[in-house]
Structure 1
Amino acid sequence: MEGNLGHENDRLVHRNRYDVDGCLETNVTHGFTLVAVGDLIVTRPLTKGHHPGFSEIVEILRNADVTFGNMETNILDIRSFTGSPQAEHGGAYHVSLPDLAPDLKSMGFNMVSYANNHTFEWGVEGMRETCRALDQNGIVYAGVGENLAQASAARFLETPGGRVALVSCASTFTPMSRACDPAGAAPGRPGLNPLRVEEYIVVPPAMFESLRQVRDALPNYGSGQSDPNRLGLAGATYKIGDQPGYSYLPNPADVADILRNTRQGKQFADFCIVTNHGHEPGNWSQQPPDYVQSFARQTIDAGADAYIVHGPHQLRGIEIYRGRPIFYSVGNFIMDDLRTPVGADMFTAYGKDPRTDTDAEVTLAEMAQGYESDAGFTDPIFYESVVAVNRFEDNRLAELRLYPIELGHSERFANRGVPRLARGQQGRAILQRIQDLSEVYGTEIVVEDDIGVITFERSARRTEST
């Protein structure tokens, strides 16, 4: 028996090989490529339509081993759909035509995340319809399931370059969309894989003291709080700091579950991608929340070969950590938001009347005003992003090419939101923005032929010197 156990341990150690940086080894073929883009807010098939410049983008997507995006819509046929729009939504009731799934496949997408704040807007029926459409078209998705174990598990794609695992979670989501496992006689709950984060509003000491006085003056304020540097007031939690801002504490149980599934995903695959959908601290911010760098690095330490954030709807910086890319936000890829129907709650939220106003007018009002504390999506910055092409050689990140794209901010509503390569001054401005945002991470991006280029050796030297 002891001999058998020893043999099994030797086999596991051999299988779980680590590279020189102490990470679980990458094991893909020479020249393996990953294309990463951001949010897919798309309501109709695009490849057969008239969209100038889109074919150039599609060519880039199709020429990769893995093409990844965030599925930020639901696919269903409203004529036969048995569910309904839910009482809570993630900012809008995103819905797409059934033809979208085969069109995404035609574009080149073979892996998507489906854990985000729009996943449950059409209930569990909408989630299941969307999953069915993705399954039928051979698009691997992660981040949702019939219980937490399924939602948090890695999903796998077989490619000629190697087996690829995907683990996806969301830190921004509607409360009722969180999956859970069975407990005793209670069944599990369908939903998404959560990364719960506790938000703190940081204020200087003088402001904190004023808030404490307000709290203490209120009836039944609950002064049993023992931490003198933190207080709760009107549903928010405040803590003392040097400058006003936001701070986040990720849920330890969620972190442990995600890291375990990352490790297992890599053990069962040659390459592992981990993604998170998070808007924190808000769509207005070009800087990620304070917890993200540590968490992203933890996923890479656990076996991830790339960590991708989507959700803020605009670009954030890029870090190269232990030879793996961390994208703090890849922004929007498609914002073809011709959604219909939008749901009665959306008409009410924006002061519209379904008897006289149209779905498009509700959508335009939502985009102009935004939701929660954000200022809407009127700024052209939300219509500018990149397509990130990651090439691996000898199981190391050799080069990362950033193709600047623009989504037609100035186009009429029916034609807006479809990507094309950004050229000239606009393309250079997008690349300059990502250069500036990445500098703090020691990442050097050079511009060659209107394309941003990161080489591993160059970025590694910069990281070692900081």
Structure 2
Amino acid sequence: MAQWTFGAVGDVFVNRENSKDAFVGSSGLLHQIDLVFGNCEGAYTDKPHFAPSAGWRVVAPTSNGIDLAKAGFDVMAVANNHIVDGGHEGLIDTLNLLKSQGIKTVGAGANLSEAIAPAIVEQNGLKIGFLGFASHYPRGYEARRTVPGLAALRVHSVYCNSPTTFNEPGAVPAVRTFPYPEDVELLKFLIGDLRNKVDLVVVSHHWGLCKPVELTDYERILGRVSVEAGADIVLGHHHHFLRGVEIYRGKPIFYGLGHFVFDLPGLEVIHDEKELEHLKRRGEYGIYPREGYPLSPFHADARMTMAVVCDFEGKRMTSVGFFPCQINQENQAMPLKKGDARAQVIVDYMSKISTETGLQTLYDPVSERFGLAYSRVRISAPHEKG
């Protein structure tokens, strides 16, 4: 059986003066992987109609997105909390731009039917199916029967007594999160239906909180339900930081892939001094301008990222691993060499955050692959029954 590789990275959005330098250093790696996925975290349009519910408007001229296929991307998720920042026209412009480059998209469309439709890619004689969903998004971004938008999976937040206190009125509550049962049933149906048409299924989820380490209840629920319904690989994004990996029923759930190239310039322009001080008071992990990183207003931990690789023989997955990457001051994700101590720092970080969230995943020490640092993902005690 033919051997081939599937790769994935996290948030991708190019918004800089020279868009052609965004993937300097990383494009070589992406082109060594047979099938590459990324999350398109914003809208490319020359005629934005800004959504009134948008926060930071992650919108760039079309010229910024014209080289994504050249960088190495084959499939991109467009279900995220910024894809409608440029309005419905901006969403359609983005889909058309990606399509014009031969990039398949999942997770948004001109109506609900298009938003939940799969993308199917042929690779080494196999059919690989993709689905994309978002659980974190501004109100109004969700697709409806005749309205453009994203494929939404809704989630309930339940406030209950903290497990560390007595029934104490006024105490800070615990927040538990659970997906809508009807949306879970839709997710299971869509995965199961796609499973019957393809050899492998990849499901992308935009989910979680923009805090380091923390995994919410619903992320674990939706991740495992996706595998139980027939997904072979589950990819998570949105957090800005890496998350741990779980091997569930023999299938990898990457809870958060972090940034890859995510440009967010100009916060010091759109906010006055008082507003910037307010942002800084949110704590060290807040989003505000960082000296020396004009395109990346995030904590230093958000500069650690990865390119995930799953190896296959035919449709049998033979290994799972990742290439540690460091985001530099030009906001380029740079794959690290084996001798670079920062590679082991990222592997150790993955081990730490996995342990802190109760995942039993193990990560091999840095080895070498494609001339770069690489770590294989293992598991000490598989969860076969959930």
Instruction: Tell me the TM-score range normalised by the shorter chain.
Output: 0.7 to 0.9
Whole-Å separation in 2 of the counterparts to 1:402 and 1:325: 12
Whole-Å separation in 2 of the counterparts to 1:286 and 1:368: 21
Counterpart contact for 2:343–2:366, Cα < 8 Å: no
**Is 2:90 the partner of 1:99?**
no
The 3 A distance-change label for structure 1 pair 371 and 87 is: farther
Q: TM-score with structure 2 length normalisation?
A: 0.85
SS in 1 for 2:43: coil
Spell out, residue by residue over 1:268-302, the C-alpha distance to the aligned partner (whole angstroms, 9 max, x if none). Answer: 22221101111x3x211312101222321211121
Which of 69, 77, 95 does residue 113 from structure 1 map onto?
Answer: 77
Question: What amino acid sits opposite 1:261 in the alignment?
Answer: L
Question: What amino acid sits opposite 1:442 in the alignment?
Answer: Q
Q: TM-score with structure 1 length normalisation?
A: 0.71
Whole-Å separation in 2 of the counterparts to 1:195 and 1:92: 22
**Is 2:61 the partner of 1:87?**
no
SS in 2 for 1:406: strand
Whole-Å separation in 2 of the counterparts to 1:402 and 1:267: 29
Q: Which runs of 5+ in 2 are unaligned?
A: 288-296, 368-372
Counterpart contact for 2:45–2:86, Cα < 8 Å: no
Which of 286, 289, 314 does residue 375 from structure 1 map onto?
Answer: 286
Aligned counterpart, 2:294 = none
Aligned counterpart, 1:199 = 157
Provide the identity percentage: 26
The 3 A distance-change label for structure 1 pair 448 and 304 is: same
Shift of 1:47: 7.4
SS in 2 for 1:273: strand
Shift of 1:263: 1.4
User: How do residues 281-320 of structure 1 correspond to structure 2 at under 5 angstroms?
Assistant: 282-320=209-247
Question: What amino acid sits opposite 2:186 in the alignment?
Answer: D
Whole-Å separation in 2 of the counterparts to 1:103 and 1:116: 21
Shift of 1:45: 8.6
Whole-Å separation in 2 of the counterparts to 1:370 and 1:130: 35
The 3 A distance-change label for structure 1 pair 191 and 425 is: same
Whole-Å separation in 1 of the counterparts to 2:114 and 2:282: 30
Which of 334, 339, 354 does residue 438 from structure 1 map onto?
Answer: 354
Query: Higher strand fraction: Structure 1 or Structure 2?
Result: 2
Whole-Å separation in 1 of the counterparts to 2:299 and 2:198: 41
Whole-Å separation in 2 of the counterparts to 1:45 and 1:106: 18
Counterpart contact for 2:285–2:298, Cα < 8 Å: no
The 3 A distance-change label for structure 1 pair 30 and 298 is: farther
Shift of 1:369: 4.1
**Is 2:125 the partner of 1:167?**
no
Larger Rg: 1
Counterpart contact for 1:76–1:130, Cα < 8 Å: yes
Whole-Å separation in 2 of the counterparts to 1:116 and 1:327: 17
**Is 2:169 the partner of 1:210?**
yes
Shift of 1:208: 5.8
Counterpart contact for 2:112–2:149, Cα < 8 Å: yes
Shift of 1:147: 2.0
Which of 376, 382, 386 does residue 463 from structure 1 map onto?
Answer: 382
Spell out, residue by residue over 1:47-75, the C-alpha distance to the aligned partner (whole angstroms, 9 max, x if none). Answer: 743x7xx5442122112232011100111
Spell out, residue by residue over 1:372-427, the C-alpha distance to the aligned partner (whole angstroms, 9 max, x if none). Answer: 9972244201111111111022533212221111112xx3xxx2x11102453322
Shift of 1:140: 0.4
Question: What amino acid sits opposite 2:15 in the alignment?
Answer: T
SS in 1 for 2:308: strand
Whole-Å separation in 2 of the counterparts to 1:172 and 1:396: 32
Question: What amino acid sits opposite 1:453 in the alignment?
Answer: R
**Is 2:40 the partner of 1:71?**
yes
RMSD: 3.0
Counterpart contact for 1:115–1:144, Cα < 8 Å: yes
Counterpart contact for 2:107–2:117, Cα < 8 Å: yes
**Is 2:4 the partner of 1:32?**
yes
Deviates more, 1:421-430 or 1:134-143: 421-430
Deviates more, 1:368-377 or 1:305-314: 368-377
Aligned counterpart, 1:15 = none
Counterpart contact for 2:133–2:152, Cα < 8 Å: yes
